């Protein structure tokens, strides 16, 4: 007898969606029924048929390819490979009440962290009061003694932050990392939206989605606000390490959207504590530098003397108040992964409020009890180097080999301050359209926060997806992709 | 504008114009090869191309037996990775420069050049066969035209535009002078023959290498005469590949960019202007076309040096 096959996409997705019961599913609620806010989209897919998604996915890939929306992966020391940004066409949707809570939580966190930075580089009240252990700060790689007592314009240190959020097994949002140095990804947030709108206008017709494309305008406003000679006619530059940097696409994107100069270190020169641009018609004074160059490379006179990416003298110009640096040097100590564990305390200390967003539980390797526990349970832990980012310098316990664990145990013993550990959180999952099938994959969320004349959070963010089945690593350098992120207006 | 950006804009279009010019001379030669004269050897047909694009030095290094063949010339000039002036390398550089100035050119321009590069790169992963070459060069012309067309219709007529025009016209003038020099001497070894209608196909090929065949036919009605070809290609102010036309465009472009105080560019332009003004085709031939064009190329190189010192090198002097 002829056997019948059910070809409905929903059934397929359900089968693949089962997986470990632990992770929260963004898309499916009870009994594999799509959650309410996904129903309009789901109905549309059911009506038009799943094949439609294949065509759309192909169109999206072509669009990103032609536009040159790429990132660079470092395969070995000196050579990077340019790859097309991997994009999943099914949007991730955040409801209005959820967003209201997230926005309040992020603003609170950023306000507190900026007060914390000001305090660390001035009176250090918080250390004297014993809320944060002083040795944690002094032994942190990103604490910059060179900038003690400098007053950045308006006491703002982190003008641009990208805070990584995950959802635990119950669906609660947790902060995984505060990225306060030179967080990247915002251009992809915008590109994702532009592609999504072009490819799937029919989805948008069924929702009220809040806009994200004004981010560069907000950023420009914040940068102007910082100009020492006033916002009118301020010369603003975006300082890039150059075309070989993995985020170079983003640098050009932002410079262009804001209409500011995209400069490399060699395009700038300091004279008499002022910074100038080398132009085709002589030198032009610079007021604000949005730098996408790390502290270490920013000024060879102050930090690493072998840096060719920075501008000699720029820290002196900053100290003299003649130029604004965005983000302020030294901000990295506040997103150090060991300091991270204290952020809830930091919020209570400076604001007298209880934290709206919770942290992932974090074990300090400098603490003997914590360390013993972690070393006994390495298979269940994520171990991270405190000053690394981008998924580098990390041990994923569950997928690690015995020799990798031994290697990390030794590293921890050698330099306990350099590591922290967290229990593996099953990041929430979402359906993705991959090779013609609906599959569930883990993801996170990076919203972007701008601090200028007030703190603003753009309603959306970069949703990063671990495209490898079962993987919890979402970094684009390690096989991650992304989705358009929708915040609903009501 | 940043000096580095000005320089990249200039080299972006200069390299792209070089891509187009290289494709055109190759294309014309491929077409004429189809019905070659009985007594013309492969070497006679293809050696001149090496001279025009300045690959005559690299050729014997690449091919020690020095035998000139269609296959080799097409390969070396189109996709030779080790030939810095190959179409492939020029396009790669044009696209790299475009990537550097991506924030200064329109999205549409970037997309056009990026797409061009991606498909050309894919195409040239395998060896381009002579019988497929014409198709490839046609694609190249279309893509280059698309890019310049988009530039025309999307760029503000400011400094950035000035540098892009300057790059493309300077390269074009350079290519025109080289094509005329090399072809003319091969066609006309004997000065006494100047003024007589000559090998229609060969002279046609010269004009076609400059996209000027049809325009020439409309301007001059007496067949193809060498003296008129020289007049047309060097002095005609309306023929968009003539030296005079290119110079006028370059002068306008520098005006858009603006002069640098006590700069060297105005002088370099004046020298070029002096070279082209007040002479007739007869004067040029009397003086010797080769010497005349050689001097022109020298003056053009002086302009590059002047651009470098006026605009592209850092001025660490006073605040502007």
Whether residue B2 and residue A281 make contact (CB cut-off 8 A), yes or no, is no
Whether residue B320 and residue A269 make contact (CB cut-off 8 A), yes or no, is no
Q: Which residue has tokens 């290697």?
A: A407
pLDDT category at A18 given cuts 50, 70, 90 is: very low
Distance from CA of A198 to the nearest CA of B (A): 16
* Residue A320 pLDDT exceeds 80: yes
Whether residue A68 and residue B114 make contact (CB cut-off 8 A), yes or no, is yes
Task: Answer yes or no: pTM beyond 0.90.
Answer: no
**Smallest CA–CA distance from B7 into chain A, residue:** A280
Q: Find the mean pLDDT for residues A123-140.
A: 94
**What's the rounded Cα separation, in Å, for the pair B12 and B96?**
8
What value of ipTM does the predicted structure carry?
0.74
Residues of chain A with pLDDT > 90, as a percent, come to: 68
**What's the rounded Cα separation, in Å, for the pair A97 and A101?**
6
pLDDT category at A225 given cuts 50, 70, 90 is: very high
* pLDDT score for A11: 32
Whether residue B3 and residue A279 make contact (CB cut-off 8 A), yes or no, is yes
A279: nearest CB among B96, B115, B320: B320
Interacting residues of B108 by C-beta distance below 8 A, sequence separation 6+: B150, B154
pLDDT category at A425 given cuts 50, 70, 90 is: confident
B314: nearest CB among A67, A278, A281: A278
Reduce the secondary structure of B247-293 to three states and give it as a string: HHHHHHHHHHHCCCCCCCHHHHHHHHHHHHCCCCHHHHHHHCHHHHH
A278: nearest CB among B3, B96, B258: B3
Q: Find the mean pLDDT for residues A71-96.
A: 78
* Residues of B in Cβ contact (< 8 Å) with A281: 1, 258, 260, 320
* Residue A391 pLDDT exceeds 80: no
* pLDDT score for A4: 42
B2: nearest CB among A68, A243, A278: A278
* Residues of B in Cβ contact (< 8 Å) with A278: 2-4, 314-316
Indicate whether B72 and B135 sit together in one domain: yes
Whether residue B114 and residue A277 make contact (CB cut-off 8 A), yes or no, is no
Question: Is B161 contained in some domain?
Answer: no
**Smallest CA–CA distance from B100 into chain A, residue:** A243
Indicate whether B308 and B267 sit together in one domain: yes
Region for residue A315 given its phi and psi (left: phi exceeds 0; alpha: psi -120 to 50; beta: otherwise): alpha
* pLDDT score for A386: 83
Distance from CA of B82 to the nearest CA of A (A): 20
Whether residue A252 and residue B102 make contact (CB cut-off 8 A), yes or no, is yes
Question: CA nearest A478: which of A392, A410, A398?
Answer: A392
Whether residue A264 and residue B107 make contact (CB cut-off 8 A), yes or no, is no
* pLDDT score for B45: 83
Least-confidence region, from A170-179, A250-259, A316-325, A465-474: A465-474
Question: Is B14 contained in some domain?
Answer: yes
Distance from CA of A327 to the nearest CA of B (A): 22
Whether residue B107 and residue A67 make contact (CB cut-off 8 A), yes or no, is yes
Which one of B110, B125, B155 terminates a domain? B155
B103: nearest CB among A262, A283, A285: A262
* pLDDT score for B132: 87
* pLDDT score for A385: 87
B320 at the A interface (CB within 8 A)? yes
* pLDDT score for A115: 98
* Residues of B in Cβ contact (< 8 Å) with A244: none
pLDDT digits 0-9 by tens, A331-352: 999 999 889 999 999 999 999 9
* Residue A109 pLDDT exceeds 50: yes
Please answer whether residues A161 and A357 qualify as being in contact, where contact means their C-beta atoms are separated by less than 8 angstroms: no
**Smallest CA–CA distance from B105 into chain A, residue:** A256
Q: Find the mean pLDDT for residues A412-420.
A: 89
B6 at the A interface (CB within 8 A)? yes
* pLDDT score for A490: 82
Neighbour tally for B134: CB within 10 Å: 15
Indicate whether B136 and B278 sit together in one domain: no
* pLDDT score for B93: 96
Whether residue A256 and residue B3 make contact (CB cut-off 8 A), yes or no, is no
B161 at the A interface (CB within 8 A)? no
Indicate whether B189 and B126 sit together in one domain: no
* pLDDT score for B17: 97
The pair of structure tokens assigned to B5 is: 């950006």
Question: CA nearest B160: which of B116, B98, B92, B95?
Answer: B98
Q: Find the mean pLDDT for residues A377-389.
A: 85
* Residues of A in Cβ contact (< 8 Å) with B102: 252, 256
* Residues of A in Cβ contact (< 8 Å) with B114: 66-68
Give CATH 3.30.1490.270 domain extents, chain A. 362-423
Q: Find the mean pLDDT for residues A37-52.
A: 91
Whether residue B111 and residue A263 make contact (CB cut-off 8 A), yes or no, is no
Indicate whether B36 and B176 sit together in one domain: no
**B94 alpha-carbon distance from chain centroid:** 14
Question: Is B9 contained in some domain?
Answer: yes
DSSP code, position A490: -
* pLDDT score for A3: 44
Whether residue B2 and residue A280 make contact (CB cut-off 8 A), yes or no, is yes
Whether residue A261 and residue B260 make contact (CB cut-off 8 A), yes or no, is no
Question: Is B162 contained in some domain?
Answer: no
**What's the rounded Cα separation, in Å, for the pair A485 and A90?**
9
Which one of B126, B155, B184 terminates a domain? B155
* pLDDT score for B35: 63
pLDDT category at A485 given cuts 50, 70, 90 is: very high
Question: Is B236 contained in some domain?
Answer: yes
Residue ranges of chain B with per-residue pLDDT less than 70: 33-39, 188-199, 314-320
Distance from CA of A264 to the nearest CA of B (A): 9
* Residue A240 pLDDT exceeds 90: yes
Least-confidence region, from A80-89, A274-283, B36-45: B36-45
Number of domains in chain B: 2
Whether residue A243 and residue B96 make contact (CB cut-off 8 A), yes or no, is yes
B316: nearest CB among A65, A248, A269: A269
* pLDDT score for A141: 87
Nearest 10 degrees: Cα torsion B289, B291, B294, B295? -110
pLDDT category at A422 given cuts 50, 70, 90 is: very high
Q: What is the dotted CATH code of the domain comprising A362-423? A: 3.30.1490.270
If one compares A152 and A13, the residue with the highest pLDDT of the two is: A152
* Residue A145 pLDDT exceeds 90: yes
Residue A486: strand, helix, or coil = strand
Q: Taking CB atoms and an 8 Å cut-off, how many pairs form between chains A and B?
A: 78
B187 at the A interface (CB within 8 A)? no
Please answer whether residues A36 and A182 qualify as being in contact, where contact means their C-beta atoms are separated by less than 8 angstroms: no
* Residue A20 pLDDT exceeds 80: no
Average pLDDT score, chain A: 89
B2: nearest CB among A65, A279, A285: A279
Whether residue A67 and residue B102 make contact (CB cut-off 8 A), yes or no, is no
* pLDDT score for A6: 33
**What's the rounded Cα separation, in Å, for the pair B113 and B214?**
29
pLDDT category at A101 given cuts 50, 70, 90 is: very high
**Smallest CA–CA distance from A258 into chain B, residue:** B103
**Smallest CA–CA distance from A264 into chain B, residue:** B4
* Residues of A in Cβ contact (< 8 Å) with B320: 279, 281-284
Whether residue A283 and residue B258 make contact (CB cut-off 8 A), yes or no, is no
Indicate whether B206 and B308 sit together in one domain: yes
* Residue A441 pLDDT exceeds 90: yes
Distance from CA of A215 to the nearest CA of B (A): 17
Neighbour tally for B118: CB within 10 Å: 14
Question: Is B319 contained in some domain?
Answer: yes
Question: Is B254 contained in some domain?
Answer: yes
Domain around B309: 167-320
Whether residue B311 and residue A252 make contact (CB cut-off 8 A), yes or no, is no
Whether residue B99 and residue A264 make contact (CB cut-off 8 A), yes or no, is no
Which one of B96, B123, B155 terminates a domain? B155
* pLDDT score for B242: 97
* pLDDT score for B195: 57
Whether residue B317 and residue A283 make contact (CB cut-off 8 A), yes or no, is yes
Residues of chain A with pLDDT > 70, as a percent, come to: 92
State how far the alpha carbon of B122 is from the alpha carbons of B79, B115, B145, in Å: 11, 11, 20
pLDDT category at A5 given cuts 50, 70, 90 is: very low
Indicate whether B171 and B149 sit together in one domain: no
**What's the rounded Cα separation, in Å, for the pair B207 and A187?**
48
């Amino acid at each position: 007898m002829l056997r019948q096959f059910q070809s409905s996409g929903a059934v397929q997705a359900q089968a693949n969606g089962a997986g470990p019961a632990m992770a929260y599913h963004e898309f499916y609620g009870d009994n594999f029924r799509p959650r309410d806010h996904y129903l309009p989209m789901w109905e549309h897919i059911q009506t038009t048929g799943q094949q439609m998604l294949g065509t759309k996915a192909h169109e999206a890939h072509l669009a990103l390819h032609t536009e040159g929306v790429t990132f660079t992966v470092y395969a070995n020391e000196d050579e990077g490979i340019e790859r097309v940004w991997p994009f999943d066409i099914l949007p991730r949707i955040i409801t209005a009440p959820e967003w209201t809570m997230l926005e309040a939580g992020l603003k609170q966190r950023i306000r507190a962290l900026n007060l914390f930075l000001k305090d660390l580089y001035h009176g250090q009240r918080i250390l004297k009061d014993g809320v944060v252990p002083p040795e944690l700060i002094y032994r942190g790689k990103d604490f910059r003694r060179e900038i003690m007592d400098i007053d950045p314009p308006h006491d703002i240190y982190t003008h641009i932050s990208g805070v990584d959020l995950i959802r635990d097994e119950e669906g609660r949002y947790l902060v995984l990392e505060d990225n306060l140095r030179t967080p990247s990804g915002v251009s992809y947030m915008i590109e994702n939206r532009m592609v999504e709108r072009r490819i799937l206008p029919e989805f948008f017709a069924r929702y009220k989605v809040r806009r994200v494309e004004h981010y560069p305008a907000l950023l420009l406003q914040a940068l102007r606000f910082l100009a020492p000679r006033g916002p009118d006619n301020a010369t603003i530059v975006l300082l890039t390490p150059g075309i070989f940097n993995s985020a170079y696409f983003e640098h050009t994107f932002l410079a262009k959207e804001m209409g500011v100069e995209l400069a490399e270190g060699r395009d700038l020169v300091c004279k008499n504590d002022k910074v100038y641009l080398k132009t085709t018609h002589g030198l032009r004074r610079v007021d604000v530098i949005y730098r996408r160059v790390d502290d270490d490379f920013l000024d060879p006179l102050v930090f690493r003397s072998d840096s060719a990416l920075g501008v000699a003298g720029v820290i002196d110009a900053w100290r003299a108040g003649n130029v604004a640096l965005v983000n302020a040097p030294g901000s990295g100590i506040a997103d150090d992964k060991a300091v991270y564990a204290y952020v809830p305390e930091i919020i209570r200390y400076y604001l007298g409020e209880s934290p709206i967003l919770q942290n992932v539980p974090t074990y300090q390797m400098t603490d003997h009890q914590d360390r013993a526990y972690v070393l006994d349970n390495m298979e269940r832990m994520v171990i991270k180097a405190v000053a690394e980012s981008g998924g580098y310098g990390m041990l994923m316990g569950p997928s690690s080999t015995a020799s990798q664990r031994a290697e990390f145990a030794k590293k921890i013993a050698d330099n306990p301050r350099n590591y922290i550990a967290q229990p593996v959180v099953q990041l929430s999952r979402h359906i993705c359209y991959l090779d013609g099938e609906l599959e569930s994959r883990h993801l996170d969320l990076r919203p972007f926060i701008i601090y200028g004349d007030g703190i603003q959070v753009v309603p959306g963010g970069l949703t990063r997806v671990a495209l490898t089945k079962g993987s919890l690593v979402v970094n684009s350098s390690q096989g991650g992709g992304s989705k358009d992120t929708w915040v609903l207006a009501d | 504008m940043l000096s580095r950006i000005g320089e990249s804009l200039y080299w972006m279009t200069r390299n792209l114009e070089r891509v187009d010019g290289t494709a055109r001379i190759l294309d014309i030669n491929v077409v004429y090869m189809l019905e070659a004269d009985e007594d013309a050897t492969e070497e006679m047909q293809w050696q001149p191309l090496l001279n025009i694009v300045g690959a005559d030095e690299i050729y014997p290094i690449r091919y020690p037996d020095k035998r000139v063949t269609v296959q080799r010339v097409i390969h070396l000039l189109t996709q030779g990775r080790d030939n810095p002036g190959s179409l492939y390398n020029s396009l790669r550089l044009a696209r790299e420069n475009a990537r550097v100035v991506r924030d200064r050119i329109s999205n549409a321009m970037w997309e056009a050049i990026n797409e061009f590069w991606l498909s050309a790169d894919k195409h040239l992963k395998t060896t381009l066969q002579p019988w497929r070459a014409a198709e490839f060069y046609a694609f190249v012309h279309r893509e280059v035209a698309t890019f310049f067309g988009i530039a025309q219709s999307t760029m503000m007529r400011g400094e950035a535009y000035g540098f892009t025009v300057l790059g493309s016209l300077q390269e074009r003038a350079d290519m025109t002078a080289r094509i005329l020099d090399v072809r003319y001497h091969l066609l006309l070894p004997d000065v006494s023959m100047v003024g007589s209608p000559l090998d229609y196909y060969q002279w046609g090929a010269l004009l076609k290498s400059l996209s000027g065949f049809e325009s020439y036919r409309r301007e001059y009605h007496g067949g193809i005469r060498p003296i008129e070809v020289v007049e047309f290609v060097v002095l005609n102010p309306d023929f968009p590949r003539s030296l005079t036309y290119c110079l006028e465009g370059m002068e306008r472009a520098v005006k858009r960019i603006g002069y640098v105080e006590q700069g060297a560019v105005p002088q370099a332009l004046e020298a070029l202007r002096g070279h082209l003004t007040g002479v007739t085709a007869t004067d040029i031939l009397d003086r010797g076309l080769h010497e005349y064009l050689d001097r022109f190329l020298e003056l053009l190189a002086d302009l590059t040096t002047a651009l470098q010192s006026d605009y592209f090198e850092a001025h660490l002097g006073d605040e502007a």
